[in-house]
Amino acid sequence: MESVYSFNALQFNGEKKSLQDYSGKVLLIVNTASRCFFTPQYKALERLYQRYKDLGFEILAFPSNDFRGQEPMTGLQLETYCRIQQQVTFPVFKRLHVVGDYADPLYQYLADKTKNGKVNSRPLWNFHKYLINKQGEVVDFFYSTTGPEAKRVLTKIEQLIAE
């Protein structure tokens, strides 16, 4: 069975980043957008990251324009928005597709139980979250309406960090 470590992500500078680099960490993978009702979750994600990053936790953000064109920015403009306006310090990657015929292979894996062995849940909107254990396996997901600091998210992250 594959794991998230089988995939690469494109950084803003165009270089590939192997998700293997996050081996042994608990990951929260989230598709983001700058013009969405849920965009304020960037701040909550950053607080979550600051709270757990020193305990082996990482957030990986993947901007996407798949839902009503709510992420029109790309490249340097998008990177600047995330780093300066939203003040996020966790990794944010180049914009990609999370649903449909052109969905990135990582998101095809995350969304399909036949590929990941656990979860059947494709993003229905921006800020859909996948929780990954230290072995790179998908263990849970949270819809956009579940905030990053919701009790059940925190509980699950803390359980995985403790494993």
Q: Which residues are catalytic?
A: 36
Nearest alpha carbon to residue 62 among 109, 12, 135, 101? 12
Nearest alpha carbon to residue 59 among 120, 128, 131, 124? 131
Q: In angstroms, rounded to a whole number, what is the distance separating the alpha carbons of residues 22 and 108?
A: 19
Helix (H) / strand (E) containing 63: strand 57-63
- Report yes or no: 154 and 40 within 8 Å, Cβ to Cβ: no
